[in-house]
Structure 1
Amino acid sequence: MSIELRHFRCFLAIADTLSITRAAERLHLTQPAVSRTLRQLEQELGLRLVDRTTHHLALTPDGLSFRDQAAIAVTAFDRALGQAPHTAWPLRLGHAWSAAGTDTTALLRRWHEEHPATPLELLRIDDRTAGLARGDVDAALLRGEVRAPGLITDQLTTEPRVAGLPADDPLAHRTALSLTELTDRTIALNTVSGTTTLDLWPAAARPASTITIGNTDDWLAAITGGRAVGVTTSATADMHPHPSMAYVPLTDAPPVPVVIAWRDGPGHPRIPDLVRLAHEVIGRTAGGDARRAGSGTSTGTGTSTGTGTD
């Protein structure tokens, strides 16, 4: 037996739903057929992808790793079939939050002027790599340290950190704050696509209370609703002004690197043009550094480190 695309689709349905029953419903197959297809894939790969008990199903470490590769393969196949002859091949640029900040419009317009035959599609995807690791996009604008294997990152600039506060908060009218002044507050942490963690604070002065949210919209709602305060970068302040929100610079928080990332392997032929334009528009005053994420192997000069937030 050889592995076919149906094996990948079946495994991805299981990975998404964590249920043989729901995967079968999604694929319009019987449960035995889904179980059989999964078993065939595992036998052919020589890997156990799914741990299954009577009441529980979870991906194994091999399953988690294979999920992203399977998603890339299926996405590439579907995209190739959907690409009609003589039509433009869009370049998909992902971001998890705030895109290129105030440079977003300039980047999109410059691209349209210089590469009118290749549409640049900007997609917000609430994921640490903005869909890049799964193959949903061709490149991504990301903040903070990128550890996903198989990605190359090139630093464009850095952004200063700011505190996000309700506009009527006693600290909202300050010209600057320190992290320790937020220690007694509840901190909103975006654990899906953000990069702020409690490690940002000194070990002896970490906030005791946090709430977990999954995207920038919920982060803003938690703060403007008075449930929490947060830490983000200046790009969020620029892209998400709100009458009930105040952004105050933080004096003792390190800046956050902004990188453009792409997969280490064959990809869209216009990626080098996008990287070059991103440096011209976003990185006008910052040096860049290309490296394989997660490997520490530099393919440029300088360094690309740091943690950031939302």
Structure 2
Amino acid sequence: MTADLRHLRAFLAIADAGSVTSAAAVLRISQPALSRTLRQLEQHLGARLVDRSTHHLELTAEGRRFREKAATAVAVVDEALDPARLRPWPLRLGHAWSALGRHTTPLLRRWKERHPDTPLELLRVDDRTAGLLSGKVDIAAVRAPMIPADAEGLLGEWLRNEPRVAAVPADSELAEKSRSLTLEDLAAHPIALNTVSGLTTLDLWPEEIRPEENATIGVANTDDWLGAIAAGNAVGVSTSATAEMHPHPGVVYKPLAGAAEVPLMLMWRETPRGSGRPGHPAVPRLVELALDVLAGDARGTA
């Protein structure tokens, strides 16, 4: 038996739905037929992808690794068969939040001037690799600590280090301080944490002043993060790019002393030789232009 695209779609539906029953409903096939398709794929790969021994369906370690490959393969096929892709092939630049900060607009404008035949699409994808591992984008602006430790096949180019900033309610005592804030200043307040695509975790605080887990407010994206802070419900930590891209009348950004800077990188998927999986040919040109834009800013000319 040779596995084909049908098997990949079936596996991804199961992984996304979290159960064979729900996935079968989405695919509009019977549960036994879907279970059979999954078994065929596992037999072809010689590995168990789904752990059926627990009450809730979970992917095995092999399943989690294969999910990334399957998603990429399906995305490439769908793109190849999309009639719209016969027209100019857009280069998709992903970001989870704040893109390249103040360098975002110069990059987009300069790309349009230099490469008018290749549209550059800026896409916000709320996950830690900004859509890179799922195949939703060709290249992504990510902050290095956000990349999952088990992510494989990624290449990257360092752009700059971003200083961290504190985000506090505009009417708070912290906003009125003339000095930089510290992690200790923030520790006495509820902390807003973007648990889907954010950079900050409680591990940023030294153990002796680390806030309690129950003293956090979990949010799913930057908009909700800003809303929680502006409402006076929490404080937050991000990088200077957020201050540049997301000014908010209810939020004041303050320099944060004593916290390490964050590397900003462009990352893309490695294309294995002979894999038949194409990468976008314009990726190297975007990396070169991004470095040029940042170098110009450093010279005061961007």
What TM-score, normalized by structure 2, do the two folds share?
A: 0.91
Relative to its length, the structure with more helix (as a share) is: 2
Shift in Å at residue 190 of structure 1? 1.4
Q: Which residue of 2 aligns with 1:170?
A: 173
Aligned length: 286
Shift in Å at residue 84 of structure 1? 5.4
TM alignment of 1:1-310, pairs within 5 A: 1-53=1-53, 55-83=55-83, 87-145=87-145, 146=147, 147=149, 148-175=151-178, 176-208=180-212, 209-265=215-271, 266-284=278-296
Shift in Å at residue 86 of structure 1? 5.0
Deviation string 1:105-145 (CA, Å, 9 cap, x unpaired) is 11111111101111111100011100101111100001133
Q: Which residue of 1 aligns with 2:274?
A: none
Shift in Å at residue 253 of structure 1? 1.1
List alignment gaps of at least 5 residues for structure 2. 272-277
After the TM superposition, which of the residue ranges 2-11 and 184-193 deviates more from structure 2?
184-193
List alignment gaps of at least 5 residues for structure 1. 287-310
Deviation string 1:176-196 (CA, Å, 9 cap, x unpaired) is 111111111111111221111
2:181 aligned partner, one-letter code: L
Matched residues in 1 for 2:85 and 2:12: separation? 29
RMSD across aligned positions (CA): 1.6
Shift in Å at residue 56 of structure 1? 2.0
2:166 aligned partner, one-letter code: A
Matched residues in 2 for 1:198 and 1:156: separation? 26
Q: Tell me if the contact between 1:95 and 1:122 (Cα under 8 Å) persists in the aligned partners.
A: yes
Identity between Structure 1 and Structure 2 (%): 60
1:253 aligned partner, one-letter code: A
Shift in Å at residue 83 of structure 1? 4.5
Q: Tell me if the contact between 1:157 and 1:283 (Cα under 8 Å) persists in the aligned partners.
A: no
Matched residues in 1 for 2:54 and 2:87: separation? 49
Q: Which residue of 2 aligns with 1:295?
A: none
Deviation string 1:134-178 (CA, Å, 9 cap, x unpaired) is 111100001133342211111101111111111111111223111
